[in-house]
Amino acid sequence: MKTVLLTGGLGFIGSHIAVNLIESDYKVIIADDLSNSKIETLDKIEKITGKSPIFYQVDVCERKLLEKTFSENRIDSVVHLAGYKSVAESTQEPIKYYRNNLISTLTVLEEMQKYKIAQFVFSSSATVYGSENPVPYKEDMKIGNCTNPYGHTKLISEEIARDVAKANPYISVMMLRYFNPVGAHSSGLIGEEPQGEPSNLMPYICKVASGEYEYLSVFGNDYPTKDGTGVRDYIHVEDLAEGHVKALEYLKNNPGSHIFNLGTGQGYSVLEILEAFEKANNVKISYRIEPRRPGDLSEFYADPSKANEVLDWRAERTVEDMCRDSWNYVLTNSKTDKF
Ligand code: UFG
């Protein structure tokens, strides 16, 4: 049985990857500082899979503390997700983002060199394609011109990982460029729990549906898109998680540096998502058209054909599944711990 260290493994995406890895017979070790996640998620992973990951509460930027994770286990691969992820916050506090997101990547790779660990999978983002590429985005496009510091930290982390792989041929690296992850586990046990007011579309819609907010602000209806609202490639978090298992399998036999888009290849507008959510869950979502949000692009979606062909991976779940599972997570958890 192969052992995977999952940094940030109790977060929204990490917890789904943990479930998928365990279900695919990997032994999972999670390193997470709980800064944007909850310890109860560990029990929920166990409830779903029947197995509990080994857990280290650690900030992966702290090399001495992270070292314990490596010295106490025989790790085969690292899936690195730990990092700050708010685009808006990154524009207000760039140093916080550069420090945390780059030092965490450097520290993990340093430990991998020290312990001669062969596989590194990095949680990158479609944001690295910047603002000038035409859609759909393809892996061989020139990257850069990101609209925010968060995006730059992903871009620079990718470069760091590629350089480390070049200098250490026994290390293979894979950048997975996520599009817009939404949805939740079909059990309703794990899902997205933004702290404070959500900035992303799906969590905000859920809060309007639950009555916490009166309406959704739709940021702009004058984009050159099908209905004037922003278009994105929403991907179900369970499909995204399955992509990581495929990535690890591929890396075992294919050394070097690799890049894959994880998206569906389909763009949906804000109004289309609203409508799909209402239909899937039989709820009404009030909205108001507001000015564009600074830094937003009008439209982006993936060309996922490389991952489809090379990794034999495909996003299978529909927008209806995404809307239903996002809302199911809110309903399941409001019954248990909110009211
Ligand atoms: N939107 C609204 N109202 C809201 C929130 C969002 O109209 O309250 C719109 C946005 O303008 C955009 C779309 O919904 O058109 C999606 O916005 P999100 O904030 O959900 O997602 P983004 O595409 O802006 O950003 C996401 C991730 C980033 C990542 C980026 C590129 O949050 O981490 O995709 O992959 F960098």
In tens, the pLDDT along 57-91 reads 999 999 999 999 999 999 999 999 999 999 999 99
Asked if the model's pLDDT at residue 117 lies above 70, the reply is yes
329 is catalytic: no
How many whole angstroms separate alpha carbon 289 and alpha carbon 221?
A: 7
Three-state secondary structure of 145-171 = CCCCHHHHHHHHHHHHHHHHHHHCCCC
Residue 135: alpha-carbon gap to chain centroid: 20
Shortest CA distance to 105 belongs to which of 89, 73, 82?
82
Using CA positions, which residue lies closest to atom 21 of ligand 1? 200
Average pLDDT over residues 256-276: 98
What does the pLDDT look like over 150-182, one tens digit per residue? 999 999 999 999 999 999 999 999 999 999 999
pLDDT of residue 19: 98
What does the pLDDT look like over 201-243, one tens digit per residue? 999 999 999 999 999 999 999 999 999 999 999 999 999 999 9
pLDDT of residue 335: 62
SS3 content of the chain, % helix, strand, coil (to 5): 45, 20, 40
Q: What percent of the chain has pLDDT over 90?
A: 97
CA of 201 to the centre of ligand 1 (A): 6
Shortest CA distance to 109 belongs to which of 50, 175, 178?
175
Q: Where are the beta strands (DSSP E) in the chain?
A: 3-7, 27-32, 54-57, 77-80, 119-125, 172-178, 180-182, 216-219, 231-232, 234-236, 257-262, 268-269, 287-290
Reported confidence tier of residue 334, pLDDT bands at 50, 70, 90: confident
Q: Which residues of 111-149 are buried (b: 16+ CB within 10 A; e: fewer)?
A: bbeeeebbbbbbbbbbbbbbeebebbbbbeeebeebbbb
Pocket test of ligand 1: the residue of 13, 85, 86, 87 to mutate, having most ligand atoms within 8 Å of its CB, is 87
Kindly name the residue from 84, 129, 150, 301 that is annotated as catalytic: 150
Asked if the model's pLDDT at residue 339 lies above 80, the reply is no
CA of 200 to the centre of ligand 1 (A): 5
Could you give the angle at which helices 12-23 and 237-253 cross, rounded to 10 degrees?
60
Which residues are near ligand 1 (CB < 6 Å)? 85, 87, 125-127, 151, 179-180, 199-201, 204, 216-219, 230, 232, 270, 293, 296
Tokens of 180: 């817009």
How many whole angstroms separate alpha carbon 304 and alpha carbon 177?
A: 10
pLDDT of residue 337: 47
